[in-house]
Amino acid sequence: ELIVPENFAMVEPGVYRSSFPRSKNIPFLKTIGLKSVVSLVPEEYPAKMVEFYEQNGISLLCHGLEGNKWPFKGIDEFDLHKTIESILNPINRPLLIHCNKGKHRTGTVIGCLRKIRGWSLTCIFQEYLFYASPKTRLEDQRMIEMFELPSENSSNSLDDGVEYSPIPSEQLLDSQQASFS
């Protein structure tokens, strides 16, 4: 039986998102041919999942990001940039990005990736709200809005082996509304 992790979706070719994968998700994970898993949680990783990754040649890239929980803690900008670099590196693909529930930290990272790809903030925030609702965080949305790559990486023609073009906002909104209805 194939059980998909919660909040699982394809973000772009070779990039997936989800909640924390569990052992019950292993048969499904085998079907998508992962090379890497980008973990956004700072906690220790479960031994059963580490063993599965090792046995299947999947690299575990740990980027333990703290969640944006103002005023107590927030995602470190340097760590966020390092995480985005791992995602953009074609050697790591196909990859799965996850935090605990696949909502806030994952949503922030995906939102920043979408911004690099030229998506409008309206579409980025619509996607963030879809996954994070009903408990959205304004701090996540602010981080996405203010996110910029360092100047040496700032062009939209990133050398990650895949060509991208921004999707017109109206087209994306229409297709998302149709699929989410």
Residues annotated as catalytic are 99
What is the rounded distance in angstroms from the CA atom of residue 3 to the CA atom of residue 8? Answer: 10
Is the Cα dihedral 127, 129, 132, 137 positive or negative?
A: positive
Q: Is the CB of residue 143 less than 8 Å from the CB of residue 115?
A: no
**What is each CA distance from 98 to 5, 36, 65, 106, 117, in whole angstroms?**
10, 11, 11, 6, 20
User: Among candidates 21, 44, 43, which has minimal Cα distance to 32?
Assistant: 21
Tokens of 34: 């992962």
CA 16 to mean position of chain CA atoms: 7
Which residue type does 3 have?
A: I
User: Among candidates 42, 36, 76, 71, which has minimal Cα distance to 56?
Assistant: 36
